[in-house]
């Protein structure tokens, strides 16, 4: 079911004359309010260490509970994707990327973005996912928190992209493995 199909009444005036305007919006015939269904901003990190291992997470929640994942999540209002990925990494693994970078022990760079979809409560949410490469010391403590069931370091040669549940994450892992000559 599409996101806009869930909204039958205008959120401003409550009118039932809240109709499709185009492929990404609904417009109220009574008060003129137009609601746009724009993509949500999300981010994820390809985290590697000095031994060229990749940090892999296991999803603790739906969608795709139990599948492999990268660390990441949605960007909060008022937050840049750079800030969001640092926050998400800390929430999900306990790693303080900001402190590690300030200490000269880690690096972070933007890679690319991909469009994606995310099934939430029966609604398909469109997102624009920003990906980062973060390199941290091999001895950095990592512990699963938040919506991560577990996480582990994996050699790139042992990684199978088809085990990653979310499409944009799977595409990113495949791209990463191709860039380092594994696929």
pLDDT tens-digit profile of 36-72? 989 999 999 999 999 999 999 999 999 999 999 999 9
Give the 3-state secondary structure of residue 106: coil
The helix (H) or strand (E) run that includes residue 155 is none
Is residue 150 located within the same domain as residue 97? yes
Please give the residue range of the domain that contains residue 169.
40-179
Is residue 172 located within the same domain as residue 110? yes
Partnered with residue 95 across adjacent β-strands are: none
Q: What is the CATH number of the domain that holds 151?
A: 3.90.79.10
Is residue 61 located within the same domain as residue 29? no
Domain count, the chain: 2
**Token pair 């929430």: residue:** 91
Q: How far apart are CA 85 and CA 74, in angstroms?
A: 9
pLDDT digits (tens, 9 = 90+) for 122-147: 888 899 999 999 999 999 999 999 99
Look up residue 146 and give its DSSP letter: T
Cis peptide preceding 67, ω within 30 of 0: no
């Amino acid at each position: 079911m599409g996101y806009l199909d869930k909204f039958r009444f205008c959120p401003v005036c409550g009118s039932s004359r809240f109709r499709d305007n185009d492929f990404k919006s609904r417009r109220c015939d009574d008060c003129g309010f137009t609601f746009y269904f724009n993509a949500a901003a999300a981010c994820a990190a390809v985290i590697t260490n000095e031994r060229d291992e990749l940090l892999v997470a296991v999803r603790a929640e739906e969608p795709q509970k139990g599948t492999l994942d990268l660390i990441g999540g949605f960007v909060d209002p008022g937050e840049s994707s750079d800030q969001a990925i640092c926050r998400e990494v800390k929430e999900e693994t306990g790693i303080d990327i900001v402190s590690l970078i300030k200490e000269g022990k880690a690096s972070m760079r933007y890679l690319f973005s991909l469009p994606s979809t995310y099934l939430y409560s029966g609604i398909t949410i469109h997102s624009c996912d920003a990906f980062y490469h973060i390199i941290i010391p091999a001895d950095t403590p990592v512990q699963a928190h938040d919506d991560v069931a577990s996480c582990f370091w994996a050699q790139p040669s042992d990684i199978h992209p088809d085990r990653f549940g979310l499409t944009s994450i799977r595409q990113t892992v495949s791209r990463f493995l191709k860039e380092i000559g594994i696929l």
